[in-house]
Amino acid sequence: MTGNENFESRLLSELRQVAAENPAPSAQAARPKRYGRFAAAGAGLAAVVAGVAIYAGSGDNTTSAYAVESEPDGMVTVEIKSLKDAGGLERSLNEAGVPAEVNYSPVMATICAIEAEPGDNAKSDEKGFSKTSPLVETSGTTETAEATEALKTLPAMPAKAGALSETRTDADGTTFSIDPGTIKKGEKLYITTSGGGPKDAELAAAPTSVAISVGDKPADEDC
């Protein structure tokens, strides 16, 4: 923008450049804020029976097992801290505008993540999100602590272009963001567990890891 343009267009040109140099907000950038909120709610959490939803003033749906927060940029950030209360997480996601199905059922031997079409705003150079990463093998155990431990070692997954951010896993659990606008009609966010296999009876109480995908319902025969 040069030449016979006026002040407004020259200023716009400069401002466009400023905006272009700013990185798009990511789930990672949003983390400190969210943790601040958790810290503030900490005292309350201790006094509340596990599994009861705590409704923060900001409208976040938070339990000790998971957190769902709508970000200002329209993304929804999900943190899974332990593999409990699948129904609650599912409801919270639905309330946040993300059609979701959460299944922590231990009988699923393998997880199929259905490859979804990249969203409209997908960048062509981004890797499609298809099969989930190889998941952590653990010998099944009924200890919840073990399950949480397994969750911690979940490898980062590639992001589905435009819809899912990369998943991040640390001592507090697994976190990812999703843009509800990129989920097509009929598609859902699937959060499912996987483990060593149905023969592993003990797996029932200790899913070893979680798979996250967007798409049509995973078909059993593909697994």
Partner 1 sequence: MSNHDVARIGHDPDALESFYLDHVEEIERFVARRVSDPYLAADLTGDVFLAAIDAAGHYRSRRGVPRAWLFGIARNVIHNEFRRAGRERDAVRRVQGRAFLDEDDLSRMQERIDAEAVARELFRALGDLPDSEREALELHAIDELSPREVGEALGISPVTARVRLHRARRALRQTLEDETSTPTIRSMEA
| Residue type for position 74 | G
Residue with Cβ nearer partner 1 (70 or 213): 70
- Give the contacts of 20 (CB within 8 A, at least 6 positions apart): none
Q: Which residue, among 168, 161, 157, has the nearest Cα to 194 in the 3D structure?
A: 157
Strand duo 168-170 + 100-103: pairing: unpaired
- CB nearer to partner 1: pick between 19 and 47: 19
| Residue ranges binding partner 1 (CB under 8 A) | 6-8, 10-12, 14-20, 22-25, 71-74, 181
Instruction: Give the whole-angstrom CA distance, residue 52 versus residue 49.
Output: 6
Shortest CB 8 distance to partner 1, Å:
5
Q: How far is the CB of 17 from partner 1 (least distance, A)?
A: 8
**Gap between the Cα atoms of 59 and 49, Å rounded:** 20
Q: Which of 165, 192 has the CB closer to partner 1?
A: 165
Residue number with CB closer to partner 1 (15 or 107): 15
Q: Least distance in Å: CB of 179 to partner 1?
A: 10
With beta carbons less than 8 A apart as the criterion, state whether 167 and 156 touch. yes
Minimum CB distance to partner 1 smaller for 21 or for 222: 21
Residues ≥6 apart with Cβ < 8 Å to 180? 74, 76, 96, 97, 98
CB 200 within 8 A of CB 109: no
Smallest gap, in angstroms, from Cβ of residue 194 to partner 1?
34
Task: Tell me how far, at minimum, the Cβ of 97 lies from partner 1, in Å.
Answer: 11
